[in-house]
């Protein structure tokens, strides 16, 4: 009775290269036939064909020089769109389109409008499609879009340093103090780190969604954020499990915290740079002061896991650079070459990375509490977590507006 | 450009009681029109155009409109003028709204002389007007007016995204048309404009002439100006009047709504005033011919000859 089955198995394996591949191709060939049929004949659904739906989104409005407005437009609708007229502040003006004022589906065009915009005043740009549908964009306060000059490059870099490097460096200076803390106090500091990270995870999540909502519909911005965050979390957890040393090294945790916080700070940098570019950074110094204060706890969070074992100055420098440096890169990118798709993706990675370190630092807290014979959720740990959230929450008063 | 001088005199014959009888065929229909380069609007029209035909006749003529509705919605023709209630073209009165596929004959005497208009009065009124169902209705006085170069200017506007506000403003539909192609006129000749405002949603519209003053006949129902030597007049929706002026010097002169918003959204244009010797060149420059010139200067007499 076993013989026929053996034969059939061998037949399968031997025939796989030819006939089997053909079998796999049949559905694809039929799919091609069906698609061709639908495209050519309408599939008998012409009665269902509704009015054309036009959907474009304004990606970015820049003011490269006085008298010129540039609008970057992406067509996220189901068919190509032509934009024959553009009005600025309810007045039609001449414009040119690159590559064309007809934008194919998923295509992109840049419209250059001759309009004498007024420094620090608000302007509204209205695109009219050939069917008369209107899409509006706003310039909140007109300021010439910064072009990469060495002076501005240095200034934006300085902003990044104030926002990212300086506060984290100051926070790290608490390290010697932390080393003298007893078991319970250390639990408190680690719990505070967890609270801080939870706050950052939520903040980064909201920032990512803010960018995601501005994306053209086909990007499916919010699902994109969720999937990338979950993917990042999954990959980092899987990498963590691969280490057979049963437990991650404290220094490794510190590096992953630094990475997560770094991605968060990249987002902050992007927001600040973009705000400068869009003329929304009238609060300038006040905003930077706020971020400096807001981010100081991050230094504590990064070094808390390594309180038991000093890894040496080189590692401290690297940790500060990894967590604070992205703020500089973010400010440059946000100011000079903002890209909402990349911003969304990086922030989503940040969400996943931060969630993963919440998990890891949480395990450290659990281990320490276990050693002290205390349950994971005790008043000290709870107080620490709440303190972490509260510090972040209240210092954020200076940067949210 | 053609609509400035495109008078529709109907078919002239003698009525039973010996009066001149003018018969006009008017068809309502849905047509997509271009209201600015590359910008299309799904209009409802009289005879496939916006504004509809510029009906022109003389005081006392018997007028007959064979109205047929080929559109997708009920429509009417409501004339501003003296007529009986059942000829008023209002839903629910007389024949009321003329449904798609139906027809009706409006008949009345041309009275009083003046610069009038007609429009669809079907409900919802706002939509039927801003979709394009209106036209000039010019009744010349029996005694005639001074010979002049005459233009019909319908101040209209379009709400392309249907949000209750207009995106394009114009005279005779196409935004900024007369900025691209200035209207050729001669220095020193009398220019007469039949000006009508049908702009929906906005409370007022206005007409301002650069570097010149005009006499204004509100509604055109008098032979003497109601306003003398003005350069800006204001019209509410449905209001209209006649402007008369001359250019003293050659050059390009702007005219536009002195509502800057309307002007910059399309309602502005230029007159190109030239010496008579240069007139043919000025015509050719904007693609016009002698026929256009002739229709512009013979508006009141053209319709009388073919009885």
DSSP secondary structure, B126-152, as one string: HHHHHTT-EEEEEEE-TT-----EEEE
Closest Cα in chain B, distance from residue A123 (Å): 14
Task: Give the number of other CB atoms < 10 A from CB of residue A93.
Answer: 16
Question: What's A18's DSSP letter?
Answer: I
- Ranking A212-216, B7-11, B97-101, B255-259 by mean pLDDT, the lowest is A212-216
Contact between B158 and B168 under an 8 Å Cβ cutoff? The reply is yes
Instruction: Kindly write down the DSSP assignment for every residue of B46-97, as one continuous string.
Output: ETTBSS--EEEEETT-EEEEEEEE-SSS-B--EESSS--GGGS--TTSTT-S
Q: A382 at the B interface (CB within 8 A)?
A: no
Chain B environment of A56 (Cβ under 8 Å): none
Closest Cα in chain B, distance from residue A118 (Å): 17
**CA A309, A312, A313, A318 torsion: positive or negative?**
negative
Q: Evaluate if residue A253 carries a pLDDT over 80.
A: yes
Question: Is the ipTM, as predicted for this complex, more than 0.85?
Answer: no
Task: Give the number of other CB atoms < 10 A from CB of residue B90.
Answer: 18
pLDDT the model gives residue B42: 92
Chain B environment of A87 (Cβ under 8 Å): 167, 264-265
Question: What's A20's DSSP letter?
Answer: I
pLDDT the model gives residue A121: 85
pLDDT the model gives residue A278: 64
Q: Evaluate if residue B59 carries a pLDDT over 70.
A: yes
Q: What is chain A's mean pLDDT, rounded?
A: 84
- Say which residue, A38 or B277, is predicted with more confidence: B277
Decide: helix, strand or coil at residue A157: helix
Q: Evaluate if residue A174 carries a pLDDT over 80.
A: yes
Chain A environment of B38 (Cβ under 8 Å): 82, 84-85, 101, 130
Q: Evaluate if residue A93 carries a pLDDT over 80.
A: yes
The secondary structure element, H or E, covering residue A325 is helix A313-336
The length of chain A in residues reads: 401
Strand partners, A103: A81
Chain A environment of B161 (Cβ under 8 Å): 132-134
pLDDT the model gives residue A50: 67
Distance CA A395, CA A383 (A): 18
- Say which residue, B152 or A1, is predicted with more confidence: B152
pLDDT the model gives residue A10: 45
B160 closest CB neighbour out of A90, A101, A132: A132
Query: Mean of the pLDDT values across residues A354-364?
Result: 86
Distance CA A198, CA A2 (A): 60
Question: What's A90's DSSP letter?
Answer: S
Q: Is the peptide bond before B112 cis (omega within 30 degrees of 0)?
A: yes
Contact between A299 and A169 under an 8 Å Cβ cutoff? The reply is yes
pLDDT the model gives residue A127: 94
The secondary structure element, H or E, covering residue B115 is strand B114-119
- As given in the structure block, the two tokens for residue B305 are 């000859």
Q: Evaluate if residue A337 carries a pLDDT over 80.
A: no
Reported as a single tens digit per residue, the pLDDT across A272-312 is: 887 776 665 554 567 777 778 878 888 888 888 888 888 88
- As given in the structure block, the two tokens for residue B212 are 């010149």
Mark yes or no for CB contact A92/B40 under 8 Å. no
Alpha helices in chain B (DSSP H): 125-130, 177-180, 260-264, 279-285, 290-297, 299-302
Query: Mean of the pLDDT values across residues A331-339?
Result: 82
Reported as a single tens digit per residue, the pLDDT across A120-149 is: 888 999 999 998 899 999 988 888 887 778
Mark yes or no for CB contact A84/B38 under 8 Å. yes
Pick from B275, B225, B245: which is nearest to B115 by CA? Answer: B225
pTM (2 decimals)?
0.75
pLDDT the model gives residue B256: 97
- Top mean-pLDDT range of A43-47, A341-345, B114-118: B114-118
Query: Mean of the pLDDT values across residues A209-233?
Result: 90
The B-side interface with A (CB below 8 A) comprises 36-41, 158, 160-161, 163, 167, 175-176, 261, 264-266
Distance CA B113, CA A145 (A): 60
Q: What is chain B's mean pLDDT, rounded?
A: 94
Whole-number percent of chain B with pLDDT over 70: 99
Closest Cα in chain B, distance from residue A41 (Å): 26
pLDDT the model gives residue B306: 46
- Ranking A208-212, A369-373, B56-60, B184-188 by mean pLDDT, the lowest is A369-373
Question: What's B249's DSSP letter?
Answer: S
- Say which residue, A400 or B240, is predicted with more confidence: B240
A residues 340-359 closer than 8 Å to B (CB): none
Pick from A213, A209, A236, A210: which is nearest to A225 by CA? Answer: A209
Chain A environment of B173 (Cβ under 8 Å): none
- As given in the structure block, the two tokens for residue B123 are 């409900």
Contact between B207 and B235 under an 8 Å Cβ cutoff? The reply is yes
């Amino acid at each position: 009775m076993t013989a026929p089955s053996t034969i059939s198995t061998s037949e399968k394996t031997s025939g796989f290269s030819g006939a089997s591949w053909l079998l796999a191709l049949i559905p694809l060939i039929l799919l091609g036939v069906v698609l061709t049929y639908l495209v050519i004949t309408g599939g008998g659904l012409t009665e269902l064909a509704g009015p054309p739906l036009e959907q474009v989104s304004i990606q970015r409005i820049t003011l490269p020089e006085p008298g010129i407005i540039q609008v970057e437009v992406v067509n996220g609708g189901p068919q190509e769109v032509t934009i024959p007229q553009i009005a600025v502040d309810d007045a039609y003006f001449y414009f040119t389109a690159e590559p064309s004022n007809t934008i194919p589906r998923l295509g992109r065009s840049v419209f250059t409008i001759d309009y004498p915009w007024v420094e620090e005043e608000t302007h509204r740009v209205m695109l009219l499609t050939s069917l008369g549908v209107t899409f509006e964009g706003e310039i909140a306060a007109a300021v010439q879009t910064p072009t990469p000059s060495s002076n501005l490059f240095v200034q934006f870099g300085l902003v990044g340093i104030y926002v990212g490097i300086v506060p984290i460096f100051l926070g790290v200076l608490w390290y010697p103090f932390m080393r003298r803390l007893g078991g319970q106090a250390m639990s408190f500091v680690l719990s505070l780190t967890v609270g801080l990270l939870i706050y950052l995870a939520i903040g980064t999540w909201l920032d990512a969604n803010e960018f995601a909502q501005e994306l053209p519909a086909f990007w499916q911005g919010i699902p994109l954020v969720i999937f990338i965050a979950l993917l990042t979390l999954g990959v980092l957890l899987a990498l963590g499990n691969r280490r057979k040393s049963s437990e991650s090294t404290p220094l490794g945790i510190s590096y992953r915290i630094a990475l997560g916080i770094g991605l968060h700070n990249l987002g902050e940098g992007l927001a600040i740079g973009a705000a400068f570019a869009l003329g929304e950074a009238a609060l300038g110094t006040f905003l930077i002061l706020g971020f400096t204060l807001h981010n100081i706890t991050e230094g504590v969070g990064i070094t808390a896991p390594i309180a038991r074992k000093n890894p040496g100055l080189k590692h401290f420098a690297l940790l500060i650079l990894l967590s604070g440096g992205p703020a500089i890169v973010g400010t440059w990118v946000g100011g000079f070459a903002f890209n909402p798709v990349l911003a969304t993706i990086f922030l989503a990675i940040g969400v996943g990375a931060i969630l993963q370190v919440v998990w890891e630092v949480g395990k450290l807290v659990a281990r320490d509490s276990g050693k002290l014979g205390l349950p994971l959720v005790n008043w000290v740990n709870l107080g620490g977590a709440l303190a972490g959230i509260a510090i972040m929450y209240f210092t954020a008063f200076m940067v949210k507006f | 450009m053609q609509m400035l001088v495109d008078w529709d005199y109907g078919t002239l014959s003698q009525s039973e009681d010996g009066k001149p009888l003018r018969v006009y065929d008017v068809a309502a229909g849905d047509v997509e029109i271009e209201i600015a380069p590359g910008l299309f609007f799904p209009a409802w029209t009289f005879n496939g155009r916006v504004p509809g035909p510029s009906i022109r006749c003389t005081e006392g003529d018997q007028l007959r409109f064979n109205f047929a509705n080929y559109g997708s919605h009920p429509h009417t023709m409501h004339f501003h003028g003296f007529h009986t209630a059942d000829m008023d073209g209002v839903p629910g009165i007389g024949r009321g709204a003329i449904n798609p596929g139906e027809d009706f004959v409006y008949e009345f005497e041309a009275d009083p002389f003046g610069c009038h208009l007609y429009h669809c009065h079907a409900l919802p009124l706002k939509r039927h007007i801003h979709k394009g169902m209106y036209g000039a209705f010019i009744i010349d006085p029996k005694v005639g007016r001074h010979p002049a170069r005459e233009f019909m200017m319908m101040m209209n506007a379009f709400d392309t995204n249907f949000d209750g506000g207009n995106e394009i403003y114009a005279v005779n539909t196409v935004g900024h048309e007369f900025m691209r192609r200035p209207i050729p006129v001669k220095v020193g000749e009398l220019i007469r404009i039949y000006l009508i405002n049908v702009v929906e949603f906005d409370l007022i519209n206005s007409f301002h002439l650069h570097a010149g003053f005009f006499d204004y006949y509100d509604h055109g129902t008098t032979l003497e100006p109601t306003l003398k030597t003005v350069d800006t007049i204001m019209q509410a929706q449905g209001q209209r009047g006649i402007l008369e002026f001359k250019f003293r010097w050659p050059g390009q002169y702007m005219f536009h709504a002195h509502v800057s918003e309307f002007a910059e959204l399309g309602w502005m244009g230029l007159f190109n005033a030239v010496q008579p010797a240069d007139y043919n060149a000025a015509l050719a420059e904007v693609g016009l011919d002698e026929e256009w010139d002739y229709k512009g200067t013979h508006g009141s007499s053209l319709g009388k000859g073919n009885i």
